[in-house]
Amino acid sequence: MSVNRKLAYHGDVPIVDFAGWHAGSSPKEKQEISSQLASACQRVGFVFIINHLLPHKKISEAFAWSKKMFFLDQKQKMLAPHPPGHVVHRGYSWPGLEKVSNSMGDEDDPELVKKLRQVSDIKESYEIGSDDYPEQPNVWLPDDVLPGFREFMTGFYWDSWENAKMILKAMAIGIGLDDEDYFLRYHSGHENQLRLLHYPPVPAAEIEDQSMTRMGAHSDWASITMLFQDDCGGLQIENPNKKGEFIAAEPLQDAIVLNVGDLLQRWTNDTLKSSLHRVTLPPRQDRFTGDEKLTRARYSIPYFVAPMEGTVIETVQSCVSEENPAKYKPIRWDEYRLMRGSMQYETPEAPTT
């Protein structure tokens, strides 16, 4: 770990310590943490958050439940299938259903969609949201298939939201706003998304020759993303100083990997950076097994924080100046979400069970 201008680093990714952010924190303490967070998000767009609100035991339980779910046989997992198309993003997505890319989705080009899907993402996922968000109804496994899963994941969803609220407040302070609730007032918690991800073992050669991917380079759509990852590795972010080059975000135990989403970049007129990132081969040789150099299974849990339906994202005026005019037109979040999602999901046949 090195230190540069008050920011600690894990590899090439900054670390921000939230230990000093609590009910009794002074404005000075909050300002220092917030300034570090904003500085990290300006430079890299990614940051490790340590000493946050989610304890080790809770994170470990979340991964244990995730593994139990993915260890179910295919027939059981298909009792909670992702709905057809890209409008509702809930339930179980089998390998190959979703294709992540950085296409904006504003191109009416079926051939582009077809081309993007020629290289499959080898992953499976399960999407969870608020049970009080009718626009995105949850698709739960039957309780008798995995007793306790729904109860735990519902609690983890809302525990994660408590942490996200703290980060949104720090973001507002960090960019110089007097109102720490500026971003928070556009978020209710009900529009967020908890995603369980499993990357099964695959031959390393098939990733290296790009006949398949784990997850291609993309930016996240919403306000912020909080990611919990296991110790396998493979997450990479675009080098902020060299476009097209990627650097590893090596796992740091119990840390949250926080990244800025497209909306927050637009909101802040590029003051905060939404960076491209991808999942590829683990960086260490001991992550491979067998003659085929099979990658080890990887598990991660991202939590996407999104504003309320109908929220219009307009540039914060304090981020606009004569030297730095507004770069983005106002856009509705729900329209942007549908535009981006249209490139990721087709309606293929479900896998045989």
The tens place of each residue's pLDDT in the chain, 353 residues long, gives: 333 447 899 999 999 999 999 989 999 999 999 999 999 999 999 999 999 999 999 999 999 999 999 999 999 999 999 999 888 999 999 887 765 544 444 545 555 445 444 546 789 999 999 999 999 999 999 999 999 999 999 999 999 999 999 999 999 999 999 999 999 999 999 999 999 999 998 888 887 877 777 888 889 999 999 999 999 999 999 999 899 999 999 999 999 999 999 999 999 999 999 999 999 888 766 667 777 788 889 999 999 999 999 999 999 999 999 999 999 999 999 998 888 777 665 555 556 55
pLDDT (0 to 100) of residue 9 = 93
Task: Name residues whose C-beta falls within 8 Å of residue 346's C-beta, 6 or more positions apart in sequence.
Answer: 113, 117
Model pLDDT, residue 104: 46
The dihedral region occupied by 285, where left means phi > 0, alpha psi between -120 and 50, and beta the remainder, is alpha
Q: Please tell me whether the overall predicted TM-score, pTM, comes out greater than 0.75 for this model.
A: yes
Secondary structure of the chain in the HEC alphabet? CEEECCEEEECCEEEEECCCCCCCCCHHHHHHHHHHHHHHHHHCCEEEEECCCCCHHHHHHHHHHHHHHHHCCHHHHCCCECCCCCCCCCEEECCCCECCCCCCCCCCCHHHHHHHCCCEECCEEEEECCCCCCCCCCCCCCCCCCCCHHHHHHHHHHHHHHHHHHHHHHHHHHCCCCCCCCCHHHCCCCCCEEEEEEECCCEHHHHHCCCEECEEEECCCCCEEEEEECCCCCEEEECCCCCCCEEECCCCCCCEEEEECHHHHHHCCCCCCCCCEEECCCCCHHHEECCCCEECCEEEEEEEECCCCCCEECCCHHHCCCCCCCCCCCEEHHHHHHHHHCCCECCCCCCCC
pLDDT at position 2 is: 39
pLDDT of residue 295: 84
